[in-house]
Structure 1
């Protein structure tokens, strides 16, 4: 599809391109600035990402009028009042579902002979399953999924397309791996336009994922669960998150999109993060701690608003004394 056709189709009724299209080309997709090619569109609507424009190889970039002069000459500017909304509208042109399920295993030649697969497991195209892995009843696997050796996928787990799973990974009943992230752009009228997530989830070796988890696939790139991480039941991990090596996430932890952690992080029950924060190596966050900022390595935190743990404990004791005094 030509760029001009894609813009007309996606923007109809929502946005207008405010400058003249200089160079029409065959559009292959949308991508972040750092990985986009000359046949792809990217977008930028915040000053803090402008430094990525210089080295980007994108064919065109969606950008606000006030940032137009920041676009280097090798990238074609697409001037729109709301680049985030424009990106969401264009993402719908490139969505893939990835659940072309086949009823039998006969065509799936990448399944190791020692793998144990229940009779009512559903498999998509181009699925790879390693030696001695077990897929229990009711498991649904989308296309282009790879599962390593000695894995256990418990009943009613759903694994969406393009997911990569390493060796010795356990995923307990009811968990959903690779579902869409919670991402929307908003019109002036208050409508919510879905951002299609075309990335994937990668789970490295020796990870355990509890029951009824939801791990969202990335908008671009990967949501990554690194080696040895252990995740309790009822945990939500948003799109583009990175969970570091040997991290422990206790029940009902919630990581907002693009949260990253270092290695051996521990987050207590019902702790959560805002988006785009980094938690350093060996950090501990007490239960119900609300992380809204980057946390340095080898520190302990708790509370809401978040405080260093010793400070939080002293504050809590003082608060109880004050409440008891005035009761």
Structure 2
């Protein structure tokens, strides 16, 4: 699906009389290619303006001169809001159309399973009753998909994965832009979900699709029941995420990270390899790998235990 810059600007009610180009998608400044529309709204990403390869960028006029030669500035005082509106042009068109999947070998699939279009399933995969698998999904070999799983369009499932009942793969991330009068405008989530090999997803767990890029879960990672994985999270290999944890959008976990039950992370932070968090940890900033943490806000667990002991002494009236 592609649109010209002129078409996009007309849709956005944005005046534009310059060169017209074909736009095939939307991407961040750092990831955009010569057929992508991008946007700039946050000083944190200003360093990416001079090197972006985007065809055009939604930006305020005062930043237009920082774009590379040949990149078209689309001038607006509300670039993030116009980005949100532009995503609707590139969103997947939901349909009730169905067609048989392409099977790459012998599979066992219950007759009640419903498929979208262009689904590919690897040999030896078992899919139980009541599951829905959307358009353009690929599922690897020897997977087990329990009853009533929902896999949204464009998701990619590796080999030997186990998806438990009621889990949802590829639902929309929680993304909105806000108008000046307080209305919320949906940012249509254009990315997907990628599961590596031997990933296990627990019952009633939700893995949101990426807003622009993909949400990625590394091979060997095991996620318990009732966990929420936000959009554009990147979870490394062989992580363990216990029940009722929540990861806000764009959280990055290294390999072999362990999150105890009901732990949560703020968004846009990084956790290093082999970090461990006690139950109910609240991770508010990026944390080094190879250490054990606890508490909210999370801190090294020895310090947290001393803190808890001190609080108990205060509560008992002791010095």
Shorter-normalised TM range: over 0.9
Structure 1 counterpart of 2:286: 294
Residue in 2 aligned with 1:285? Answer: 277
Q: Is contact 2:152–2:171 with CA below 8 Å preserved after alignment?
A: yes
Matched residues in 2 for 1:189 and 1:118: separation?
Answer: 50
- Per the alignment, residue 12 of structure 2 pairs with 10
Q: Over residues 170-191 of structure 1, what are the superposed CA-to-partner deviations in whole Å (9 max), with x where a residue is unaligned? A: 0000000001000000000000
Structural mapping, 1:255-274, within 5 Å = 255-274=247-266
Does residue 155 in structure 1 map to residue 160 in structure 2? no
Q: How does 1:44-59 map to 2 (within 5 A)?
A: 44-59=40-55
Residue 17 of structure 2 corresponds to residue 25 of structure 1: no
Q: Alpha-carbon deviation of 1:151?
A: 0.7
Contact 2:233 2:250 survives alignment (8 Å): yes
Report what 2:203 is aligned to: 211
CA contact (8 A) 1:101 1:142 kept: no
For normalisation by structure 1, the TM-score amounts to 0.92
What's the offset of the Cα at 1:100? 4.0
Question: Residue 202 of structure 1 aligns with which residue?
Answer: 194
Post-superposition Cα deviations, 1:10-64, rounded to whole Å, max 9, x if no partner, equal 34xxxx55xx543222333322223323332100112232232333221110112
What SS does the corresponding residue of 1:325 show, helix, strand or coil? coil
Shift of 1:6: 1.6
Question: What is the aligned residue count?
Answer: 316
Q: Judge which range, 73-82 or 270-279, deviates more.
A: 73-82
Q: Secondary structure at the match of 1:8?
A: helix
Shift of 1:248: 0.4
- Correspondence for 2:127: 135
Q: Which residue of the partner structure matches residue 230 of structure 2?
A: 238
In 2, the alpha carbon distance for the partners of 1:177 and 1:171 equals 9
Aligned twin of 1:249? 241
- Structure 1 Cα separation of the partners of residues 216 and 268 of structure 2: 14
Structure 1 CA distance for aligned equivalents of residues 271 and 120 of structure 2: 34
Over the aligned positions, Cα root-mean-square deviation in angstroms equals 1.7
1:41 to 23, 37, 41: 37
Question: What is the CA–CA distance in structure 2 between the aligned matches of 1:101 and 1:135, rounded to whole Å?
Answer: 20
2:85 to 89, 93, 97: 89
State which of 67, 71, 77 in structure 1 corresponds to 2:67: 71
Over 3 Å counting, the alpha-carbon distance change for 1:214 and 1:302 in structure 2 is same
CA contact under 8 A between 1:162 and 1:201: conserved in structure 2? yes
Corresponding position: 1:323 with 2:315: yes
Q: Distance in 2 between matches of 1:35 and 1:10?
A: 23
* C-alpha contact 1:211 1:232 (8 A) present in aligned 2: yes
Q: What does the per-residue CA deviation read over 1:236-294, in whole Å, with 9 as the maximum and x for residues that have no partner?
A: 00111011111000001100000010011000111111111000000011111111111
For the Cα contact (< 8 Å) 1:100–1:143, is it kept in 2? no
Give how far 1:2 is off.
Answer: 3.1
Q: For the Cα contact (< 8 Å) 1:2–1:25, is it kept in 2?
A: yes
